[in-house]
């Protein structure tokens, strides 16, 4: 069962989101925008693997059954999606941190640019 779950899971970090495709019988795609990720907690398991749990902010909630086995362990009331048993967890955490920081910087520049453009257009 673990082998099937591991081989049927694809996690992708893009420029504004983490996309997770999970499930072996019924495939579910999760789109987790960086603006909804409050924190990413790294747990080193040993033997070169680790977990990164993504704490979500906002009112949206995900069902534990939907995320299983890709949920933070023992957090049932408000489950967090997790990247489980990844190789080189420090490298993946650094990549994720850089992507989130770049997205936040781009968002901040984009908002300022829109505000300046709006102010310039006003008579």
Query: What is the predicted pLDDT for the residue at 74?
Result: 80
CATH of the domain at 109: 2.30.29
Widest CA span in the chain: 65
Tally of domains within the chain = 1
- Token pair belonging to 46: 């040993």
Query: What is the predicted pLDDT for the residue at 2?
Result: 64
Alpha helices in 8-121 (DSSP H): 64-67, 89-121
Query: Please, what is the Cα angle at 64 between 63 and 68, to 5 degrees?
Result: 125
Instruction: Give the predicted TM-score (pTM) of the model.
Output: 0.77
118/95 Cα distance (integer angstroms): 34
**Mean pLDDT confidence for 26-47:** 89
How long a stretch of residues is the chain?
Answer: 123
81-105 residue pLDDT tens = 998 888 899 999 999 988 888 888 8
Note down the domain range covering 30: 2-121
């Amino acid at each position: 069962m673990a082998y099937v779950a591991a081989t049927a899971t694809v996690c992708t970090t893009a420029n504004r989101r983490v996309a997770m495709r999970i499930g072996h019988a019924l495939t579910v795609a999760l789109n987790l925008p960086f603006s909804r990720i409050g924190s990413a907690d790294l747990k080193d398991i040993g033997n070169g693997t680790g977990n990164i749990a993504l704490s979500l902010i906002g009112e949206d909630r995900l069902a534990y059954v939907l995320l299983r086995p890709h949920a933070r362990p023992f957090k049932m009331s408000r489950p967090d999606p997790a990247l489980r048993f990844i190789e080189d967890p420090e490298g993946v955490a650094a990549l994720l941190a850089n992507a989130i920081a770049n997205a936040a910087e781009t968002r901040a520049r984009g908002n300022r640019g829109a505000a300046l453009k709006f102010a310039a257009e006003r008579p």
